[in-house]
Amino acid sequence: MSKAMLIDLTECAGCGVCAEACKKEHNLPGKVGKTLDYANYTVVNEVTDDVYMRNLCRHCVDPTCASVCPVSALHKTPEGPVVYDFDLCIGCRYCMMACPFQIPKYEWHKPIPQVRKCIMCYDTRIKKGLPTACAEACQNEGGGATYFGERDELLKMAHQRIKDNPDTYHNFVYGEHEVGGTNVMFLLPKNVPLEKFVPYGLKNNLPTEPLPDLTWNVLNKIPVFVPVWATFLTGMWWLNNRKIEVEKNNGIKPKDNDENKGE
């Protein structure tokens, strides 16, 4: 069973206790910000009046960031979080380019920078059977919008809420199918168009297939494509040289040479 979070945006009050709890849990410097960076693993932004969007790592079921990491610094844990090893990270930033949600951030200000992102409190809480710091703070001190639990159970709860309140929610759970599914999911208020959430991290044009599978489907064809193309180019080179050789034997000057002399 995989741990996950469900964020019901109809219940988010925009108080930011989730972000404050995150900074405290991970000893992140500075004040709570509005943009994801090395010191803010989760942020809350106002989308429209009284509607807020929380952004953080989605902890994809089949994460692209982990699939492109050349040193396996990022990996998916059996419990659900996508975590990374600081000691292995070489700062190549492939994960930043591969993430469909543009979550991993870089420590540009450091002489030896590393990549930073939410790890769902894996070492300090998940492995101890505790909820994430943000979910606990939201339930105890905030609007109660962030729920922590088993992914399957959270999905059941989300679909029941949609069924019971069809005029309140959009008729889908964001993160159930996007890029093969994520461990951070959202219920969205029906009175706000989906496009409004896009600038705050909810992409609306993502495939339902895991991105590593799509990459593999392309790479899988390269061993076939490259030899075919190389064979074609070799054949064209041989034919061209054979034509020149025949023209020389027949006393015909190569066309290119004639053209060059006329220049």
Tell me whether residue 128 is exposed, middle or buried, using C-beta atoms within 10 angstroms of its C-beta: 0 to 12, 13 to 18, 19 or more. Answer: exposed
Are 177 and 69 found together in one domain? yes
Distance CA 213, CA 10 (A): 33
Q: How many structural domains are present in the chain?
A: 2
Kind of pairing between the strands at 82-84 and 74-76: antiparallel
Are 19 and 126 found together in one domain? yes
Of 15, 53, 60, 14, give the one whose Cα is nearest residue 36: 53
Question: What are the φ and ψ backbone dihedral angles of 6, each rounded to 5 degrees?
Answer: -115, 125
Are 136 and 164 found together in one domain? yes
Are 160 and 233 found together in one domain? no
Domain boundary among 174, 191, 209: 209
Q: How many CA atoms lie within 13 A of 3 on its CB side?
A: 21
Residue 181 confidence (pLDDT): 97
Are 225 and 133 found together in one domain? no
Are 232 and 193 found together in one domain? no
Of 199, 139, 198, give the one whose Cα is nearest residue 174: 198
The tens place of each residue's pLDDT in the chain, 263 residues long, gives 799 999 999 999 999 999 999 999 999 999 999 999 999 999 999 999 999 999 999 999 999 999 999 999 999 999 999 999 988 988 889 999 999 999 999 998 888 888 999 999 999 999 999 999 999 999 999 999 999 999 999 999 999 999 999 999 999 999 999 999 999 999 999 999 999 999 999 998 899 989 877 665 555 555 555 555 555 555 555 555 555 555 565 555 555 444 444 33
Residue 237 confidence (pLDDT): 52
Are 230 and 160 found together in one domain? no
Residue 212 confidence (pLDDT): 77
Residue 249 confidence (pLDDT): 56
User: pTM (2 decimals)?
Assistant: 0.81
Are 188 and 92 found together in one domain? yes
Domain that holds residue 54: 3-209
Residue 1 confidence (pLDDT): 76
Residue 260 confidence (pLDDT): 41
